[in-house]
Amino acid sequence: MGSIRKHSQTGALFFDFRYQGFRCREYTALPDSATNRKKMQKMVDAIDESIAVGTFNYRQFFPSSKNAAKFERGLPASAKAVSGTNSAAVKPTPLFKDFADIWFGEKEIEWRTSHKKTVRDDIDKRLIPRFGDMMVGNITKADILSFRADLAKAPARNKTNLLSNPRINKILNPLRQILCEAADRFDFRTPFDNIKQLRVKRTDVEPFSLDEVKKIIDTVRADFKQYFTVRFFTGMRTGEVHGLKWKYVDFDRRLILVRETVVAGEETDTKTMYSQRDIQMSQLVFDALKEQEKSTRQVSPFVFCNRDGLPLDYKNINNRVWKPLLRHLGLKVRRPYQCRHTAATLWLGAGENPEWIARQLGHATTEMLFRVYSRYVPNLTRRDGSAFERLLAANLGHTPNLIPVQGA
312 or 387, greater pLDDT:
312
Q: What is the mean pLDDT of the chain?
A: 85
What Å distances lie between residue 112 and 109, 119, 145, 396, CA to CA? 8, 11, 29, 39
pLDDT per residue as tens digits for the range 105-124: 999 888 888 889 999 999 99
- Locate the domains of the chain by residue range: 3-85, 96-186, 210-396
286 or 268, greater pLDDT:
286
* Confidence (pLDDT) at 167: 93
pLDDT per residue as tens digits for the range 111-167: 888 889 999 999 999 999 999 999 998 899 999 999 999 999 998 887 778 999 999
Lowest mean pLDDT among 24-38, 54-68, 251-265: 54-68
* Confidence (pLDDT) at 77: 37
* Confidence (pLDDT) at 380: 40
pLDDT per residue as tens digits for the range 338-380: 999 999 999 988 888 889 999 999 998 888 888 888 777 654 4
Within 8 A by CB and 6+ apart from 15, the residues are: 2, 3, 4, 24, 25, 26, 27, 28, 40, 43, 44, 47
* Confidence (pLDDT) at 385: 63
pLDDT at 401 over 70: no
10 or 306, greater pLDDT:
306
What Å distances lie between residue 362 and 47, 59, 244, 380, CA to CA? 50, 57, 15, 22
* Confidence (pLDDT) at 407: 40
Q: Which fold has domain 96-186?
A: DNA polymerase; domain 1 (1.10.150)
pLDDT per residue as tens digits for the range 170-213: 999 999 999 999 988 888 889 998 898 898 887 778 999 999 99
**Structure confidence at residue 301 as a pLDDT band (50, 70, 90):** very high
Q: Which fold has domain 210-396?
A: hpI Integrase; Chain A (1.10.443)
pLDDT at 81 over 90: no
pLDDT per residue as tens digits for the range 220-267: 999 999 999 999 999 999 999 999 999 999 999 999 999 999 887 788
**Structure confidence at residue 398 as a pLDDT band (50, 70, 90):** low
- Do 285 and 339 form a contact (C-beta atoms < 8 A)? no
Over residues 301-330, the mean pLDDT reads 94
Q: Do domains 96-186 and 210-396 have the same CATH topology?
A: no
Percent of the chain with pLDDT over 90: 51
Percent of the chain with pLDDT over 70: 90
- Do 21 and 10 form a contact (C-beta atoms < 8 A)? no
**Structure confidence at residue 67 as a pLDDT band (50, 70, 90):** confident
Closest to 233 (Cα-Cα) out of 258, 214, 219: 214
Over residues 70-75, the mean pLDDT reads 68
